[in-house]
Amino acid sequence: MIIKTPITDIRTDMKKTLTFFAVLATTLTATAQIKVAVHETAQDQPVIPAEIYGQFSEHLGKCIYEGIWVGKDSPIPNVDGYRTDVLEAFKALKIPVLRWPGGCFADEYHWMDGIGPQENRKKLVNNNWGSTVEDNSFGTHEFLNLCEMLGIEPYISGNVGSGTVEEMAKWVEYMNSDTNSTMAELRRKNGREKPWNVKYFGVGNESWGCGGNMKIEYYTNLYRRYNTYARNYGENRLFRIASGANGGDTHWMDVAMKECRHNMDGISVHFYAVRDWGTEDDPITGIPMGKKGSALQYNDQQYYEIVSKSLEIEDIIRKHCAVMDKYDPKKNVAIMFDEWGTWYNVEPGTNPGWLYQQNTMRDAVIAASSLDIFHKYTDRVKMANIAQVVNVLQSMILTNEKNPEDGCVLTPTYYVFKMYKAHKEGKFVPGELTCEKIRVNDKEQVPVVSQSASVKEGVLSISLSNLDVAKSHVVAVNLDGKKCGAVKNAEVLTSKDVHAHNDFGTPNAVSTQAFKDYKVKKDGTMTVTIPAHSVVTLSLQL
């Protein structure tokens, strides 16, 4: 049962019953209107990096093949082998940075298998994800040319788990050297004259798990060794990213910072909102199934459980920041949340190793509230890459596995990222939120509203998310006592049913709409009525 705090248990005797109703009346009076005080004149606030809205693409399921890449000879409309509809969706989103080739796949990926004439490229079995055959038709050139075409900063994950120091060194040279070296000449032979000047480079991925099952004490020595030979070329400088912690593993962070802080620019942290990582047998088939729950079928309690789990990311950030501040008080090393998002059981009838899941308004409010948290810590958090961009986990875009020639579908999470473009490279504006919380269980609570604000070019953008699954809420917005300016733009993402999602045949069940349910009062404040399970963004002229 879900109840609003601070309601006490109802007892049978009259005295306690009267006390209960007195507390209830006080609570309702105090929280009838949620308050957000936005300090738009605050000084010395960081700029929200565009890279907070980064994406992740892995050779996993249909993310690359049929998702991004179909090949030049495909009947699916394409531009030099890239799906036209997906390219257009990428352009509209203005993706700032894209991580590739993994993920777990990165530490089994040998880059030289993916260059040269496609008919000569080696095939391998993708043992991490469904044991599908990887033909390497999408390799270094295909990825980096895609990024260049769309103005995306590429982020390469290097192979430490099964690769060699020499292999990694040559890959960096192949991508970034403008000399007459063997690797640079090989790149030219394969059709690329000038280097791509890749900036972001990860030295291994999840080295505590699929990237080698290492202890941190061992990985730090490997990191220092591999990093030594990942050299800079010309004026380009690598932004070197160490494989960091699984969730809140502060021991990993402590040792990594102590041993490697002078040799890295960033360190990754991975966090997924998961109900239960375990498995159980299906009562009908007896086949082991995940306990993560369904992306589409959930009750209110399960909704709040995942929302509550997603909000744990703030506590994880705080704990890692405290460790990092001991060794790096000037904040020279950045946290890179290069994998985050929701994770459910795969959709029925799909390959369990392809991690294809649907995406509802539940995921939209989780995306928005997670981005709100990242905004608050951009003095340390400099990048975040939601997992993943197409057809995998909490994706932006879905393509049809059974009928690949169908057009693509944009998910509710896609629309959140599109709405939040208003905050990209804006100055973070702190705010004070006063609202009630919804009790999930004995330990966890969910605030009914999440908020974020930024200012850019004289425009203040405010995002408000209603995490309450059932009720709309009125929010009073105050700008340090100043009058609210004219509202330049206002959008809402919502639906009558929290389970609403976009699918083939119903691609527009959830999309952004013009928002009008706000009012600027005579005293200069503004009230905004946000529907249940919704995301609202308003832009005001200062």
Cα angle at 442 between 441 and 448, to 5 degrees?
A: 50
* Residue 19 CB-half CA count within 13 A: 10
H/E run at residue 34 = strand 34-38
Q: How far apart are CA 336 and CA 334, in angstroms?
A: 6
Active-site annotation holds for 206: yes
CA 228 and chain centroid, separation: 30
Contacts of 164 (CB under 8 A, 6+ apart): none
Catalytic residue among 339, 401, 436, 491: 339
Write down how long the chain is. 542
pLDDT value at residue 22: 29
Question: Per the residue annotation, which of 51, 134, 142, 206 is the catalytic one?
Answer: 206
For residue 192, what pLDDT is reported?
Answer: 97
Q: Are strands 437-439 and 445-447 parallel, antiparallel or unpaired?
A: antiparallel
Write down all domains in the chain, each with its CATH number in brackets.
1-30 (no CATH), 32-44+429-541 (2.60.40.1180), 50-276+310-425 (3.20.20.80)
Q: In sequence order, which ranges of 263-356 are alpha helices (DSSP H)? A: 300-327
Question: Which residues share a beta bridge with 27?
Answer: none
- Give the separation between CA 142 and CA 83, rounded to whole angstroms: 13
Query: Which of 401, 509, 516, 383 is closest to 95 using CA atoms?
Result: 383
| Segments of the chain scoring below 50 in pLDDT | 1-32
Contact status, residue 33 vs residue 475, Cβ threshold 8 Å: yes
Sequence-ordered alpha helix ranges (H) in 328-411: 361-376
Q: What is the DSSP string of 419-467?
A: HGGGGTTPEE--EEEE--EEE-SSS-EEESEEEEEEEETTEEEEEEEE-
Can you tell me whether residue 192 is helix, strand or coil? coil
Burial class from Cβ neighbours inside 10 Å (0-12, 13-18, 19+) for residue 250 reads middle
Q: What is the pLDDT of residue 299?
A: 95
Tokens of 93: 């989103």
Check residue 52 and give its pLDDT: 98
Distance CA 341, CA 465 (A): 17
What pLDDT was estimated at residue 483? Answer: 78
Structure tokens at 387: 């997992």
User: Which phi and psi (to 5°) does residue 365 adopt?
Assistant: -70, -30
Catalytic residue check, 432: no
